[in-house]
Amino acid sequence: MRLTVIGCSGSYPGPGSAASCYLLEADHEGRTWRVLLDLGSGALGTLQQHVDAATIDAVLLSHLHADHCLDLCGFYVMRKFHPSGAMPRIPVWGPPDTAARMARAYDLEEEPGMTEEFDFQTYEQTALAFGPFSITARRVVHPVTAYALRIEAEGRVLAYSGDTGVCHGLDDAAREADLFLCEASFLEGVPNPPDLHLTGLEAGATAARAGARRLVLTHVPPWHDAATVLTEAQEAFEGPVELARVGTTYDV
Ligand SMILES: [Zn+2]
Ligand SMILES: [Zn+2]
């Protein structure tokens, strides 16, 4: 699998990055399959610097906060009104109310909303198979319904935290992952609200507890010093750890 960071800014776009979006690719049956993990504010623009956005096969949303889903609106316009013709309907996995939420986001009637462009589907308890990917979603703790994603292909495992506090669901998703892409939105030493986000230290401790092999920290908000988040994570995790950067591709 190849993971490319499209947007990694936490909670809102920063000066050098869109909000959350990651491109995951794997070769299968003679072609490259491409899925997006989240499609947050500003990410659709950056995506086009890396790949033809028309070649995306599916979108996996971790939750419905604006910084993780709002650029589905532009993606809907591109797919529906492209002068060379409407593009095929593709699956969008997300929380149960994703279709209605995205219709409201674009100010569409709920019927049909975006359902002619996107086949909205919910995550099940069991793994779902899509092309080369086996995708498992685990509920995590956040003010809205939110999932961590565990994606396997070619015998390798990528885990993505979405937004979450410390919880068993996150530990499960990250278990022995080859690459753990984990949010780190908070700093230690201040009274952070519970069940919302992780500090760098908590991200590192989660990676250590889960036996992840490599940790990439993401979703650091522009108002924090990312170097501090990195230092915190290194205190808790002895393996390789780095900050996500726009345009970086990882071979998982
Ligand atoms: Zn977020
Ligand atoms: Zn969120």
Neighbours of ion ligand 2 (CB under 5 A): 65, 163
For residue 90, give every residue at least 6 positions away whose Cβ sits within 8 Å of its Cβ, in sequence order, or none.
Answer: 56, 57, 58, 59, 79, 117, 118, 119
Q: What is the DSSP letter of 55?
A: G
Question: pTM surpassing 0.85?
Answer: yes
Centroid of ligand 1 to alpha carbon of 226 (angstroms): 16
How confident is the model over 141-174, as pLDDT tens digits?
999 999 999 999 999 999 999 999 999 999 999 9
Centroid of ligand 1 to alpha carbon of 232 (angstroms): 20
Per-residue pLDDT band for 179 (boundaries 50, 70, 90) equals: very high
Neighbours of 247 (CB within 10 A): 12
State the Cα–Cα distance between residues 88 and 93, nearest whole angstrom: 16
Q: What is the DSSP letter of 193?
A: P
Ligand positioned closest to the Cα atom of 140: 2
Centroid of ligand 2 to alpha carbon of 77 (angstroms): 24
Centroid of ligand 2 to alpha carbon of 29 (angstroms): 35
Residue where the block lists tokens 């109310």: 97
Ligand positioned closest to the Cα atom of 64: 2
